[in-house]
Structure 1
Amino acid sequence: MDPNRIVQALKGTIDPSLRLAAENELNQSYKIINFAPTLLQIIVSEQVEFPVRQAAAIYLKNMVTQYWQDREPAAGEVIFPFNIHENDRQQIREHIIEGIIRCPESIRAQLTMCLRAIIRHDFPGRWPGVVDKLQMFLRAQNSSGWYGALLALYQLVKTYEYRKVEERAPLLAAMELFLPRVQQLMAQLMPDATIFSVLIQKQVLKIFYSLVQYSLPLRLINTSVMTQWMELLRQVMERDVPAVSTETLEVDEDDRPELAWWKCKKWAMRILTRVFERYLTSGERDKEYFEFADFFLKTYAVGLQQVMVDQYRQKRYVTPRVLQQCLLYLSQGLSHSLTWKHLKPHVQVRTTEVIFPLMCYKDEDEKLWQEDPYEYIRMKFNLYDDHALPATAAQSLLCKAARKHDGVLSPDAHGPSADPRRKDGALHCVGALAELLLKKRAYREQMELMLQNYVFPLLNSPLGYLRARSCWVLHCFSPLRFHDEVVLRRAVELVKQDLVEDKEMPVKVEAAIALQTLVSNQQQAKVYIRPFIRPVMQELLHVVKETENDDLTNVIQKLICEYNQEVAAIAVDMTRNLAEIFTRVLQSDEYEESEDKTVMALGLLSTMDTILTVMEDHAEITQQLEAICLQVIGLVLQKPVIGMAEFYEEILSLAFGLTCQSVSPQMWQLLGVLYEVFQHDCFDYFTGTHTLRYKTLGVLSSDCGEDAECHAAKLLEIIILQCRGRGIDQVVPVFVHAALERLMRGVKTNELRTMCLQVVIAGLWYSPPLLFHTLDSGSQPLTAHFINQWINDTEFFIGLHDRKLCILGLCVLMELPTRPSALEAVVAQILPSILLLFLGLKHLYASRVLHKPELLPRGNAQDEDHNEEIPSDEDEVSEPPQPVCPHSGGQTEDTEDDEDDFWEEDCLEGTPLEEYSTPLDYDNGEDEYLFFTNALLRVQNSDTNWYQRLTAPLSDDQKKQLQEIYSIAQQGTTSAGVKQLEMKLRRLPLCH
C-alpha cells in the first residue's frame, strides 16, 4: 500500500474543492489489505503534516468502530460484509499503544477510542498480550511513556466498568498486576506539582474511580490497600493548588476548573463520594461490603468530613464541581449515626458558614443578570450547569439536615435591615424547605403569615432578583391551604403583575411558573385569573419567544388545559405564534449545536398538539389550525432526515389530531409526502408513525425489526376492520398473503406472530368466503396452517382488542356452513380456546376497575380523606390499600391464588398497539358476550351433532364458566342506556 497516495487523498479531504475526489479515492482503497496499518503509520509519523495526521486518525477511528468486529452475512445473503483483515488487526494491535504514547493530545483522543473498540472485541481472547505491553511501559524508568500507557489502561478498565461482577474476571486478573504499580506511581509523584506529574496523577485517579464505582473488588482492595489509597486521596484534597504560577492564578476563574490540579481534586472527591454512596449508604450496601463499610466509617468518614468543610470555610477559591462533591459527601454523612453525631453539634454553624452563603445571590449572578439576562435564565434552569451545582447540592444538604435538626435556619436572615442578598438566601432556604414545612402543622400554620409579611412586599422590590426569588417561593408554597382567600387573591394578583408588567425577563419567567402552579393547586386562583387569561397567554408567548425556555412551554400547556374554553378565542393566534417561534428555533444558526434548542422545539410542538386536542370539538377552529400545523409539518419533513427525525413523533401526533374527525384534501396530500419521506431510511420511526403510513407491505417483506413489523401488521388489520362492508375485496387478499408470508418466514416474538394472525382473522371477519378462497388459491393451500397456528397460539392473545377479535373470529369459524377439514381436526379445542380468551377478558376488564375508581361501588363519606392534616412527620402513617380481586365469589382461596399466578400483571394491562381503536372497540361495537352466546345457540339449533362435538370436551369447570358467560350476556340485553364496557366492569364479581 503506497503511503504517499493515502497522504495525498487525506490532504484532499481538507480542501473543499478536492474533497469529493479524495473521499472517492479513500472509499476505493479502504478494503485493500494493509490500508488500516498504513493509516496508523501516517498518524504517528512526525514527517506528515499535522492536519493530515488528524484526518487519518479520524478515518482509522471510523474504520475500527465499524469494521473491527467480525460480522456475519444478513439473512438471505451469501456475501460476507467487509471486516478489517486479521493480519491488519494484528499490526494495529502491535503498534497502537505506542501511537497513543507518541501522538499529541488531539490525535491521541482518536486513538484511545480505537483502542477501546479493539479491547471490547479482542480482550482477552485475541489480545491477551495487551497486559504485558502496558506493564512494560508502566514499569519503565523512563516516565515519558507513563501517561500514554495510563490512557490505554483506562480504556481497559472503562470497557469493564459496567459489567457484572462475574464478567469482570479478565480485568481483575490484569489489575492484580496494575493496581499496585499505579498506586506506587501516584505516591511517587505526589511531591511533584508540575503539570506533567499532576496529569499522570489525575489519570491514575480516573482509573481507580472506574474500577470501584459499581463493584469493589475486595480481593484487590483490602483494608491495607484502601488505607494507602485513602492517604493519597486525603493528600490530594488538602494540598494547595500552586499559587505562584502563570498556569493557575492568572487563569480566568471560569476556566480554572479545566486546570489539571483542580481536575485531580475533582476525581479524588468523586472517588470518596462514590465509595460513601455505593458501599456505605444505608440500603445500598451488599452483605459482602459490611466489613469494609464498618472499617471505612470508623477510620476515615469523620476525618474526611472535616476536610470537606475546610475546603470552603477557608474562603479560598474552590471549583464548582469540587465544592458540589464536598457537599454531596456531607449530605451522605447525615445518614450514618457516627458521622451525624460528629456533625450535629456544628450543624447550625455549617449552615451559616457553608450552606447559606451558597444560597445567596452572588456577584457573578448580578454580573450575568445585567450583561445577559437570557443566559442567566438558561443557567438557573439548567441543573447540570457548573454554576448551579454547588447551590443545588447546598439545597439538598439543607433539606436533609432540616429533617434531622430544626435549628438550621439563621434567625436574623429576615430582619428588616438585612442585606438584600441575605434576604434572597433566606427566601431560597425557606422555599427549599417548603415541602417539609408544609408537612408539619407547627410550621404550616405560620406559612400564610410568612408569605404576607416577607414575600409579598418583595414582589414589588426595586431589585429584580428579589422579585424573581419571591415568585419562586410562591411557586414552592403553591400547595399551601390558604385560610384567608384575600391572601390567596393577593398572591395571584402580585404574580400576575410580575408576569405581565415587569420589565426584567428572569422575573417574568419565575412569575409565569408560579402563576401556573397556583392555578393548578388552588381552585380559587383559577377563578381569579380567568378574566385575565388572554393577556396572560399573550405575555407567556412573548416570554417564550424571547427566552426559548422549555419550562414555559409546559406552563402554557397546563394553562391551556385549565382554561380550554377561554383559550378557544385565541387558539389560532397562539398556534400561529408557536409555529413562528418553532420556525425561528429550527432556522437559527445555533440549532445544530444546542440540545436546548431541540428540547425547546419539541416543547413547542407538544404545546401545539395540546391546543389541537382541547379544540377537537370546535370544527371551525380546527380547520384554521390545520393550515398552520401543515406548515410546521412541512418544515420538518422537507428538512434533511438527520436532525429532523427526532420531531417525527410530534408532527405525526399533530397530523393525527387533524384527522380524528375528518380528513381534508390537504391532509390526504400529506399522506403522499409521508410515503416519500418513509422511503429515505425511516424504518426506525415506523412504530411511531404508522397511523398515517401505508408502506406496510414493504415493512412486512423486509428485514427491519419485529417491532416495526408488528405496527405494519396492526395497520393492515385496522384497514380491514375499518373498511368492512365498504368494498376493498381487491386488497384484502394482498394483506392476508403479506401477513402469512411473514408468519411462515419464522417469527421470534409472540407479539408479531399473533399480530400476523390477527390480520388473517380480520380477513375472516371481513368475508369468510373471500378469506378461504385466498388461502386455498395459491400453489400451497394455507387453511390448515392458519387454523392450527391460530388454535395453538390462543393463549398469546393478551390485549382486550386482541382477545375480542379472536373470540369473534372463532365464533365465525364455528358457524361456517361448509367447514374445512382442518377445522374438523381441532373441534375439541375450539370452545376451550374461546373460554380461555373469555377468562382473560374477565381479568382484564376487572383490572381496569382499579384504574377507574368511578366504576367501583362508593364507600361511606367518612372513608374519603380530603387532604387530612397530619400533626407531624412522626404521626404520618401510610396503610396499604385493600386489594380488589377480579374473581368470582364462588371460587376458593387456593383457586384465586393460582389464577393470580397465571394472569400476570403484564397480561392485565393490554398491549401498546391497543391505543389504535377499530369499530370493534367502539361503545356501539360488537358485544363479544352476546355474539358468542347467540352463535353457540344458533349452532345448537341448526346442527346438533356439531354442537355436541364442540361441547363434549368441556370439563365441569368449563361448563360452569360457559354458564357464567350466558348469564353476563343475558344481563347485557336488559341494561339499556348503559355503556357496554361499563356494564361489564360493574357486573364482574369483585372480592373485597
Structure 2
Amino acid sequence: MDTHTVYQLFSATYHSDPNVQKQAEGQLRQVEGTPGFISILVQILGSEEIEVQTKQAVSIYLKNRVRSSWVSEEVTTHNIIPIEQQDRDTFKANILGILVTVPNPVRVQLLDTLNRVLANDFPNKWADYINQVHAFLGTNDAKMAYVGLLALLQVIRVYQWRIEDKSPLVEIVQSSFPITLQMAQSLCNENSLDAAEMLRIIMKAYSIAIQYELTQHLQDNSSLVPWVTLMLQIVEKHIPQEMLSEDLEERQKFIWYRVKRRSCQNLNRLFSRYGNPAQIGQTSKYTAFAENFVQQFGPQILRVYLQQTDRWIKKETWLSQKVLFFFAEFYRDALTHKLTWQIMKSYAETLVTHFIFPQLCFTEEDEDLWVDDPVDYIHKRLDPLEDFSAPVAATITFLMNLAKYRNKFIFKKILININNVLETYRDAPPESKDPRQKDGALKMIGCLADLILRKKSGIAHHMEPFFTAYVFPEFQSQYPYLRARACDMLMRFNKMDFENKANLAIAFRGVTTCMRDTELPVRVQACLSLQFMIQHESVRNALIPSLPMIMQELLNLTNQIDADTLSGVMEEFVEVFSEELTPFAIQLTEQLRNTFLRIMQDYQDSAAVPVSGELITSTELDISDKTMAASGVLKTITTLLLSLESTPELLSRLENALLPVITYSLENAIIDLYEDIFDIIDTCTFSTKQISQTMWGIFELIYKTFKDTGIDYIEEIFPSLDNYISYGTQFFIQNTTLQRMINDIVETVMTSDRLNESERICGCKLIESILLNCRGVVDQYVGPFIDLVFKHLSNTKSTSLTNFKFYCIEAVINCLYYNPLLSLHILEERNLTQTFFSIWFDNIKKFSRVHDKKLVVVTLCSLMEIPVEQLPSILQTGWPQVLEVILTIFKSLPKAEENRNEMEKMYDNESDDDDDDGEADGESENRGDQAVDDEDVQDEDAEYLEFLAREAARNARSTTDEEDDDDPLEEEILFESPLDKLDVYIRFHDVFVGVQQHYPTSYNLLTKNLDTEKQNLIMKIINIANERRKNSENHTNENDNNYEKQMYNY
C-alpha cells in the first residue's frame, strides 16, 4: 500500500459522512498488519504538506496501535498484530525529528507514543536513544533543543513509578543533567514564554528524578550548589507586570509562575525528604546529606522564601496560590529544625498576622464562586477531601504545627491576634466592619480547636463565653458566609461541653435555622454541624419531632450537590435515631432509592463517549464525586436496614423498594458500587433469615454479574450467596438450575487465575454451605468438589498449611460429614485417602475455632458409625487415632467456646464504647509540652515512617525460604451454620454408646490404646452430655406443662 492511499484513508476518518468514516476505518483495520504500514505513517507525520487534521488522526491511531502491539517478545499476546522490526526501526530513527515539525496537538499524542516505546525498549533495544537526545540538546536550534528536553522528560518518566532496577535513571541523570543545568542557567535570564516552557520541562525532569531517591550525583555539592542556586534565582525572578493577565484565574496558570511553583516544589522536596534531620529519622541513609543540607542550604532557602513573602505582604509582588502553598509547606517543615527555626522565629508573628491570616479570610474569589456556582463552592471549600488538596491547606497545617510545636513562643500571640481582630470588628461602626476579617479570625481559631480544648491549654473554659460573644450572633448575620462559619465553628469545637444548657439550646436553634437558610452552602454547613451536635442528649431529644423534616432536607441537599459528606450525616442520623425513624422507613427508603437513581442517571450522562477514535470524557472528578455520593446513599440504606433487623416484615417490604437500586447497579455493571450493593443484598437476606421471591428474582442477575464483571468481588458477593443457600434451602434444593449456577461459581473461584488464595477461600466456604445445608440431595457434586479441592492440596506438605489449604481440608471434611461412605469411596478411587487423613490429623491444632472443632467431631462421629470392616484399610490401621483426635478436640473446646463468648460480648458492647481520645490527646499534649522552643522537633510522621522501616527490616531478616503460614484464624462472630445448634457432647455420647452396643469390633479397636487420662476425659465428656441433655429436657418441660419430667438413664 502506498503513502497516498493511506493518507486518503486517514483523511476519510474525519469525513462528515459517518458511512465514509466507517468504511475508511474498516479498510485501515484490514491493512494495518501489512509490513511497512507504520513506516508509511511516519512519512505522513514527517511531511510538511499534510494538513493538521490528518496528522492528528494518524498520531491518535499510532498511539493506540503502539499501546496494543509494541510489546516485548517475552509478553504473550492474543489477537494482536505485531509491529514489524523494520517499522520499529523506522519509528525510532525519525520520531525526534518529527516532533520538531508537528504542531502541538499532534506532538502531545506522539510524546505519549514515544513514552510507550521507551517503556518497552529502553535501554536494551534502544541503546543510542540518549545520544540522540544529547544531540538535540546540544544544538543552537531552539525548536530542536525544546524537543530534546521533551524527549529527555519522556525517558525519565519511564522510571517515575518503577520500583525495580533504576540504574539507567542514575546514568541518565549523571550524563544529561549537567547539560540541562547549563541550558536552564541561560534560560533563567530571559523573559520569553518559550524560555519559561523549556525551564518548566527541566524543573519537571528534576522533580521526577528526586521523587523517591536522590542519586549520588545530585547529592554532591558540585551538582547541588548550582541546582539550588538556579532554583532560588527562579523563585526570586521578577515577572514584568505587563506580562500578567488581568484575569486572576489566567494569572494563576501563567507559565512563569508554573516554573516558580516547580522550583519551590523541588527545593521543598530536597529539604523535607532528604535534607531535614528532624524529619528523616536516625536510620535514614541520607543522614549525612541532611546534616550538610540543613546547614548549607536550609537557611538560604528560608531567607529567599521570607524575602518573597515580605514583598508579597507589602504588595510589591504578586504570587500565585501554588507558590504560596509551597512557601507554607516549607515553613511548616522548617520550624521542626532548630537552625531554621532560629531564623524563622523573629518572623513568626508577622507570618501569622500577614501571611497566614489573609489566606484564611473569605476572599473575592470565594464570593464570586459562592454566587456563580454554589455547588462548586461546596465541593471546593466544604468537602474535606477537596479542602485537603486546596492551596490554603498547607497554610492551615503550618499554623497548626506552629501552634503545637512552638507552643510556648507563639500560641498566645496567635490568640491575641485573633482576639484583636474580633474586638475590632465588634467595636467598629457598621459601615467600617470588615466581615471577611472576622471570618478569617473564626476560621483560624477553628483550626486550633483541638489545641484549645486540650486539658493543659488553660483557655478551654473561656470558649463558651467566646461563642456567646463572637459566634452565636453570626447565626443572624447579613453575610451568608458568616452564618456558615458559625455552623462550622460548632462542628470544629464539637468536643466542647456547654456548662450553660441555654447556650447549647441557642446553638441548636441557630443550626436548625441555618438548615432552612436561603443560601445552599449555609444549609449544607448546618447539616454537617448537626451531625456532631447530636452527641448531646438534649439535642437528640429536641431533634426527634423534626426528624422527618431533617431527613427530607438531607435528601434534598444530596440531590442538589452529590456530596459524599452529606451521606455520612444521613447514615449517622439513621444509626442514632433508628427507633424513631422506623415509622418512616418505607418512605425514607423510597426517597433514598430515588436519590440514588437520580445520581446514577447523572453519572451515566457524565460518562465517557468515544469520538473519532479518542476517548473524550467530561470531568472525571465529577464522575468520581457522583460515585462517592451514590456510595454514601447506599451505605445509608444499609445502615437503615441493619437498624430494622428486628422487623422482618418491614424489611420484606423494603426489599421491593430497593429492587431498582440493585438491578440498575448490576445490569449496568457499576463496579465501583458492587461492595455497597452486595452489602444491601447480604443485609436483606441475613436480617430476615429468609429469601423472598423478590430476592430470588435477582439471583440469576447476581450470577451473571459474577461471570461478567464480578469475579474480582467474590469476597463481597460470597456472604449473599451463603445466605441464599442457608436461608433459602428448600427452594434451592428443588431448583437444579440454581444448583448449577452455584456449582459453576465454585468451580470458577477454585480455578480462575484472576483470584489469589485468600479469594479462593470463598469457594471452599461455598462448598461447606452447600453440603451442610443440603444434606442428602447434592450427591452429584461431592466428587467434583473433592477434585477441585485436591488441585490445591496435591503438593501440600503435612507440616505446612496456609489458611486457604486449611479451608480446602475443611471442604473435604464437609464431604465426609455429608456422606461418609460416598466420600471415602471417591477418595479411595483417586488414591487420596492416606494423603488426606495424614494432612488433616497432622494439622489438627489448626482447628482452633468452635465451628472447626464441631465439624471435626461430628465428621469423625459419622465415620465411627460405619462398621470398621467397611472402612478403607488405611483407616482400619489407624482407627484408634480417630478417637484420639476427637479427645484432642474436646480437650481444647471449652477454651475455644470461652474465647468465642468473650468475642461475642465485645461485639455486643462495641457500639456502646466511645472512642477513648484521652490517651491520644494526652500524648499530643505531651509532645507539645516537651518540644523546647529552640530545639529540634521530631516529626510524628517521620517517627512513624522510621518505625515502619525498622519493622520492615526486622521482618525481612526473619523471613525464611519455608512457606509462611498465614495469620491465625479468628472466630467469625456473625457466621451461622447448621452446626451451631448441634451439641457435640451429646452427639459424641450417643455415637460412642451406639458403637459400644452395636459394633464391638470397632469399639475395641478404638479404645485399645486408651490410658487413664483419656478414659477420664471420655467420662467427663459423657457427664457433660448427660447434664446438658437433662438441662435441655428440663427447659422443654418447663415450657410444656402437659408433659411429665423425664430423664434419660445411661
Q: TM-score range by the shorter chain?
A: 0.7 to 0.9
The equivalent of 2:579 in structure 1 is: 565
Q: 1:396 to 1:932 in 2, by over 3 A?
A: farther
- The structure 2 residue matched to 1:33, chosen from 19, 32, 35, is 35
Q: 1:274 to 1:823 in 2, by over 3 A?
A: farther
RMSD: 4.1
Contact 1:772–1:783, Cα closer than 8 Å, also in 2 = yes
Q: Give, in whole Å, the separation in 1 of the partners of 2:667 and 2:511.
A: 42
Contact 1:413–1:422, Cα closer than 8 Å, also in 2 = yes
The equivalent of 2:378 in structure 1 is: 377
- Partner-residue secondary structure (3-state), 1:191: coil
The equivalent of 1:446 in structure 2 is: 462
- The structure 2 residue matched to 1:59, chosen from 52, 61, 73, is 61
Q: What is the CA deviation profile of residues 927-951 of structure 1, one whole-angstrom value per residue up to 9, with x for unaligned ones?
A: 5x77678877877898898789879
Q: Give, in whole Å, the separation in 2 of the partners of 1:667 and 1:473.
A: 46
1:32-431 superposed matches below 5 A: 32-70=34-72, 83-164=82-163, 167-245=165-243, 248-250=244-246, 252-281=247-276, 282-285=278-281, 286-309=283-306, 310-311=308-309, 312-315=312-315, 316-382=317-383, 389-403=390-404, 404=406, 405-406=410-411, 407-409=413-415, 410=417, 411-415=419-423, 416=426, 417=428, 419-431=434-446
| Residue 483 (1) aligns with residue 534 (2) | no
| Residue 758 (1) aligns with residue 810 (2) | yes
1:311-710 superposed matches below 5 A: 311=309, 312-315=312-315, 316-382=317-383, 389-403=390-404, 404=406, 405-406=410-411, 407-409=413-415, 410=417, 411-415=419-423, 416=426, 417=428, 419-441=434-456, 442-499=458-515, 501-519=516-534, 521-588=535-602, 589-590=605-606, 593=618, 594=622, 595-639=624-668, 641=669, 644-660=670-686, 661=688, 662-690=690-718, 691-692=720-721, 694=742, 695-697=744-746, 699=748, 700-706=750-756, 709-710=760-761
Q: Given residue 637 of structure 2, which amino acid in structure 1 is its aligned partner?
A: M
1:879-958 superposed matches below 5 A: 907-908=967-968, 910=970, 917-920=975-978, 922=980, 924-925=981-982, 927=984
Q: Identify the range of structure 1 (99-108 vs 792-801) with the bigger mean alpha-carbon deviation.
A: 792-801
1:328 to partner: Cα distance: 0.7
Contact 2:13–2:22, Cα closer than 8 Å, also in 1 = yes
Q: Give, in whole Å, the separation in 2 of the partners of 1:21 and 1:293.
A: 63
Q: Give, in whole Å, the separation in 1 of the partners of 2:890 and 2:852.
A: 11
Q: Give, in whole Å, the separation in 1 of the partners of 2:848 and 2:967.
A: 6
Q: Give, in whole Å, the separation in 1 of the partners of 2:917 and 2:111.
A: 60
Contact 1:810–1:830, Cα closer than 8 Å, also in 2 = yes
1:265 to partner: Cα distance: 0.8
1:224 to partner: Cα distance: 2.9
Contact 1:844–1:908, Cα closer than 8 Å, also in 2 = no
Q: Give, in whole Å, the separation in 2 of the partners of 1:952 and 1:798.
A: 27
1:496 to partner: Cα distance: 1.8
1:507 to partner: Cα distance: 1.0
Q: What is the CA deviation profile of residues 762-818 of structure 1, one whole-angstrom value per residue up to 9, with x for unaligned ones?
A: 2212121232344456xx555455445545666777876556545654554466433
Q: Given residue 313 of structure 2, which amino acid in structure 1 is its aligned partner?
A: R
Contact 1:784–1:822, Cα closer than 8 Å, also in 2 = yes
| Residue 716 (1) aligns with residue 712 (2) | no
Larger relative contact order, structure 1 or 2 (CA cutoff 8 Å, min sep 6)? 2
For structure 2, which runs of at least 5 residues remain unmatched after alignment? 609-617, 722-740, 910-915, 931-957, 1033-1050
1:158 to partner: Cα distance: 2.3
Normalised by the length of structure 1, the TM-score is 0.84
Q: Identify the range of structure 1 (59-68 vs 366-375) with the bigger mean alpha-carbon deviation.
A: 59-68
Contact 1:202–1:264, Cα closer than 8 Å, also in 2 = yes
1:836 to partner: Cα distance: 8.4
Q: Give, in whole Å, the separation in 1 of the partners of 2:643 and 2:754.
A: 36
Q: Give, in whole Å, the separation in 1 of the partners of 2:862 and 2:60.
A: 63
Q: What is the CA deviation profile of residues 671-730 of structure 1, one whole-angstrom value per residue up to 9, with x for unaligned ones?
A: 1223334443443333432334734155145544345544334323212222235x3334
For structure 1, which runs of at least 5 residues remain unmatched after alignment? 858-863, 879-897, 980-992
Q: Given residue 682 of structure 2, which amino acid in structure 1 is its aligned partner?
A: F
Contact 2:119–2:158, Cα closer than 8 Å, also in 1 = yes
Contact 2:130–2:172, Cα closer than 8 Å, also in 1 = yes
Q: Give, in whole Å, the separation in 2 of the partners of 1:953 and 1:117.
A: 71
1:477 to partner: Cα distance: 0.9
Q: What is the CA deviation profile of residues 379-427 of structure 1, one whole-angstrom value per residue up to 9, with x for unaligned ones?
A: 1134565997232222111111111122223131211135221111111
Contact 1:545–1:581, Cα closer than 8 Å, also in 2 = yes
Q: Give, in whole Å, the separation in 2 of the partners of 1:974 and 1:946.
A: 27
Q: What is the CA deviation profile of residues 555-588 of structure 1, one whole-angstrom value per residue up to 9, with x for unaligned ones?
A: 0001100000111111222221222222222222
Q: 1:87 to 1:66 in 2, by over 3 A?
A: same
Q: Give, in whole Å, the separation in 2 of the partners of 1:974 and 1:283.
A: 65
1:27 to partner: Cα distance: 3.5
The equivalent of 1:771 in structure 2 is: 823
Q: 1:43 to 1:851 in 2, by over 3 A?
A: farther
Q: Given residue 647 of structure 1, which amino acid in structure 2 is its aligned partner?
A: L
Contact 1:202–1:267, Cα closer than 8 Å, also in 2 = yes
Aligned residues: 929
1:237 to partner: Cα distance: 0.5
Contact 2:715–2:762, Cα closer than 8 Å, also in 1 = yes
1:292 to partner: Cα distance: 2.0
Contact 2:582–2:644, Cα closer than 8 Å, also in 1 = yes
1:444 to partner: Cα distance: 1.2
Q: What is the CA deviation profile of residues 238-282 of structure 1, one whole-angstrom value per residue up to 9, with x for unaligned ones?
A: 11223223xx324x2212333221110111011111122212342
Q: 1:457 to 1:47 in 2, by over 3 A?
A: same
Q: What is the CA deviation profile of residues 36-79 of structure 1, one whole-angstrom value per residue up to 9, with x for unaligned ones?
A: 444344344333332332233233223333333336697xx9x8
Q: Given residue 94 of structure 2, which amino acid in structure 1 is its aligned partner?
A: H
1:236 to partner: Cα distance: 0.6
- Partner-residue secondary structure (3-state), 1:452: helix
Q: What is the CA deviation profile of residues 894-939 of structure 1, one whole-angstrom value per residue up to 9, with x for unaligned ones?
A: xxxx9xxx9999634539xx588341564x3555x77678877877
Q: Give, in whole Å, the separation in 1 of the partners of 2:871 and 2:474.
A: 83
